Structure 1
Amino acid sequence: MSKILEDWQQKAQEKQKANKQFLAKLQTRRGKGVEKLLPDLHDEAFSKIDCLECGNCCKTISPRFKGPDIRRISKHLGMKEGEFIDTYLRLDKDEDYVVKFTPCPFLGADNYCGIYDVRPGDCANYPYTDSYDFFKRPKITYENSTVCPAVYYVLEKLKEKMDL
């Protein structure tokens, strides 16, 4: 295991303020090649991290379920959309549909997703470590650094490379 990943959750908690400041600085460097580093760092992180050994995202946070997600998943489950919403979802403060409870009701004991092939777009794109969303939503990114070891890893590697 990479030295960076040892006690990553505790370190991420301790570095919340610093990571928030770092991400704010990165936003000012848009177009200066920073985002080009992400795909390689994403691949490097996931060469060291197995999501099935972790599952923290599914255990602690919820994706947004957009209209197409709701239609696709309810069809897959053989449910009417309204029934799917009533059974599994609630509206959050931003008026987005999210799961009623955590862990996600579709997460199995083995950390496999029961609806993986039709999962919400937010799940498919999480943790955004290979896209511009990593910088575009700094608040979510630094919060995710305490949920996902890959986010923490990419942040730490970016700090090394950018020397900010």
Structure 2
Amino acid sequence: MDLEFYKSQALQKNKEHKKFLESLKKKPPKNLDYVVQDTHDEVFEEIDCLECANCCKTTGPLYTEKDIERIAKHLRMKPADFEAKFLRTDEDQDKVLQNLPCFFLNDDNTCSIYEVRPKACREYPHTDRKKIYQINNLTLKNTVICPAAYVFVEKMMEKIR
């Protein structure tokens, strides 16, 4: 997977993607949620996250208290010890990874805590959300990081124009 290609394409098309996503907010098609889900499913039939894992290498998820408790239990650690070892509090007072790439990312791009991974990881790149226009800024940001998010927006533009 050529990450540089997708990143440069996403940056080149940033204004066009932004305009398209804003149009969904101004006048969402009646069947938008269905088109979003179908497009998401199509994209993930084509793109295998295990070939990329750029999200795990470049962006850390937000860890909720539930995430911390669940993962710490899985690792047989106290939540406070898990936090001390792996997390820090960022400028928004969110709990995030101390370092990237993610500590739980294996050499073959699999996740060593996949079954109990954070909610943010399970939902990434958020291309199957209802009312997708509510996360336009996030979607736009994700197109630069995630080839699937880029392809998703491109396919949505083909379907909705």
TM over 0.5: yes
Matched, 1:106 2:104: yes
Q: Mean Cα displacement is larger for which, 66-75 or 130-139?
A: 130-139
CA 1:61/1:134 → structure 2, altered by over 3 Å: closer, same or farther? farther
Q: Which amino acid aligns with 1:77?
A: L
> How do 1:1-164 and structure 2 match up within 5 A?
7-30=5-28, 32-132=30-130, 134-163=132-161
> How far is 1:105 from its partner?
0.6
C-alpha deviation, 1:150, in angstroms: 1.1
State the Cα RMSD in Å: 1.8
3-state SS, counterpart of residue 104 of structure 1: coil
- Mean Cα displacement is larger for which, 5-14 or 52-61? 5-14
Name the CA distance, whole Å, in 2 between partners of 1:31 and 1:91: 39
Alignment coverage as a number of residue pairs: 160
TM-score with structure 2 setting the length: 0.92
**In percent, how many aligned pairs have the same letter?**
44
Q: Secondary structure at the match of 2:145?
A: coil
Structure 1 residue ranges without an equivalent (≥5): none
Could you tell me whether the CA contact under 8 Å between 2:57 and 2:102 is conserved in 1? yes
Amino acid at match of 1:111: N
Stretch moving more, 87-96 or 102-111: 87-96
> Distance in 1 between the 2:90 and 2:23 partners?
30
Deviating beyond 3 angstroms after TM superposition, the runs of 4 or more aligned structure 1 residues are none
Q: Secondary structure at the match of 1:7?
A: helix
Structure 2 unaligned spans of 5+: none
